[in-house]
Structure 1
Amino acid sequence: MKKCRLAATAILCLAPLANANADTLLGIYAGAQGWNTSAAGGFSETSTGNAAFNLDTQTNTSLYVALEHMVPLVPNVKVNYTTLDSDGVTDLNAAFEFDGNVYSENTALLSNVDMDSTDLILYYELFDNDLFSFDLGINGKYIEGTFFVEDTETGTNGAATFKGIIPMAYSRIMFSFPFTGLSAYAEGSYLSFDDHKVQDLQAAVTYSFIESLALDMTLQVGYRDVTIDIEDLDDIYADLSYDGVFAGLEIHF
């Protein structure tokens, strides 16, 4: 009985250390962001036919999960899902052909962008301490969506659906300010190749308001800029940009 009590006491004493070591060996980060997005640009089904649409400001969302570990040579993993939706009404300044229909100049054309992206990021922490960290890796950005237009007077409409994977470089840098709970980071994925230019950049200030052995919780406020300039991705051409402030919450287990 005495040995059992001693063993139980030892387990209770070592439990906090086990939790701390588990956090060192394996960390899970999960976050959600609301993004006030201003959108601009246009799309088409030909290399010379992009129409410039008056796209409205809209709230988009982003959700992500990251897994970090201490296994040598095996990259960390992050998955990030983002909506990129917007719509508006435009008076065409030139004739526009889409989905087999021709819309003449001065037509009031309703446009809708229903698009999202899923990033699969593999990265290494090249430097990491309590004050500074630097990550570098690759990102396979999977984009899918539907572009829709409709003549507001006649009701003539058309739609085109597309999807594709875009390989990108990825990096992240973070600075922490000791004893304040405050940090700042910049994160980005980018590609510039032939006629394609895609970038996804964000910077934010964070505040950690809960820090415990069980979990950490952090508030984020920042700015994000996404550019999607693609040529013949699943027979779609587009030059779209999204930017605006975001706020988010991250949980670290």
Structure 2
Amino acid sequence: MKRNMLSAAAVAVAIAAAVPAQADMLLGGTVGADAWMSSAEINDAVDGGDKTIPSFYASFEHFIPLIPNARIAYANVESDAVAFKQTDFTLYYEILDNDLVAVDVGVSLIKFGDGEYNAQGHMQTFDDEWQPAIYGNAEVGIPMTPLAVFVEGNVGSFDDTSTLDAKAGMKFTIPLVAANLNLRGGYRVMDYDFDAIHNPAGSKVKLDGFFAGVEVDF
């Protein structure tokens, strides 16, 4: 009896010791922020000015196969000719995830809010608009280095509105005790045609430019 009790106690201690390590493997996520040095163009012709736009994002990943992971991203877009707040709500699955290649695929619901648009003197505000999109993220590590290249973004077309928001760049990973610190940089482009903007001068908005950011991957 005592021997069985000691064996059970040993198993219990081993399980308790293993749970934190397993939890680190089964749950994870990212938190990050970027500074985007963007240039705006309206209707393929009008210079919308240059602005540094802040953006933030966070994701949560788990071990349950059929339930998607979740991600949220926010950008306060502003230029001389257009301004709006963009929030992306994304559900996605990890298709691949290893030391060399990672691929995520999912769907996003994008909210555009507090919009102001000025094309050739025609000032207009537009109400909140929601748009669906396909989400994708692919990352390839460079062997024997802390570097990786990545491409990520949303693309969609619905109800006479087309959306493209994409990033491409590189990241440098610094291992920490309980997480990785990623330094990221690259190029971002937003290319939109808003049906909600009924402006006689047109409704096309394009912003592009380089970005730099920091990300914690835990």
TM tier relative to shorter chain: 0.7 to 0.9
Contact 2:34 2:212 in 1 (8 A): yes
Structure 1 residue 39 and structure 2 residue 44: aligned? no
The alpha carbon displacement at 1:177 in A equals 2.1
The alpha carbon displacement at 1:83 in A equals 1.7
Select which of 189, 202, 205 maps to 1:225. Answer: 189
Match of 1:78 in 2: 71
| TM-score normalised by L of structure 1 | 0.73
Select which of 187, 203, 206 maps to 1:241. Answer: 206
Contact 1:113 1:145 in 2 (8 A): no
Counterparts of 1:49-60 in structure 2, within 5 Å, are 53-60=46-53
Q: What amino acid does structure 1 have at the position aligned with 2:29?
A: I
Q: What amino acid does structure 2 have at the position aligned with 1:116?
A: K
Change in 2 beyond 3 A, CA 1:22/1:222 = same
Match of 2:172 in 1: 207
Q: CA RMSD in A?
A: 2.8
Uncovered stretches (5+) of structure 1, i.e. residues with no partner? 1-6, 43-50, 88-111
The alpha carbon displacement at 1:179 in A equals 3.2
Q: Output the CA distance in 2 between the equivalents of 1:56 and 1:206.
A: 28
Match of 1:130 in 2: 99
Match of 2:31 in 1: 30
Q: Output the CA distance in 1 between the equivalents of 2:83 and 2:131.
A: 18
Q: What amino acid does structure 2 have at the position aligned with 1:134?
A: V
Contact 1:62 1:80 in 2 (8 A): yes
Q: Output the CA distance in 2 between the equivalents of 1:239 and 1:158.
A: 14
Identity of aligned residues (%): 32
Counterparts of 1:6-155 in structure 2, within 5 Å, are 18-42=19-43, 53-87=46-80, 112-147=81-116
Q: Output the CA distance in 2 between the equivalents of 1:124 and 1:150.
A: 39
Q: Secondary structure at the match of 2:33?
A: strand
CA distances 1:120-151 after superposition (whole Å, capped 9, x unpaired): 01000011111101111100010113326599
Q: Secondary structure at the match of 1:20?
A: helix
The alpha carbon displacement at 1:22 in A equals 1.7
| TM-score normalised by L of structure 2 | 0.84
CA distances 1:56-107 after superposition (whole Å, capped 9, x unpaired): 11100110000011112000000000121100xxxxxxxxxxxxxxxxxxxx
Contact 2:124 2:197 in 1 (8 A): no
Match of 2:129 in 1: 164
Q: Output the CA distance in 1 between the equivalents of 2:71 and 2:87.
A: 10
Q: Output the CA distance in 2 between the equivalents of 1:197 and 1:37.
A: 20
Q: What amino acid does structure 2 have at the position aligned with 1:60?
A: I
Which protein has the larger Cα radius of gyration, Structure 1 or Structure 2? 1
Q: What amino acid does structure 1 have at the position aligned with 2:21?
A: A
Contact 1:41 1:241 in 2 (8 A): yes
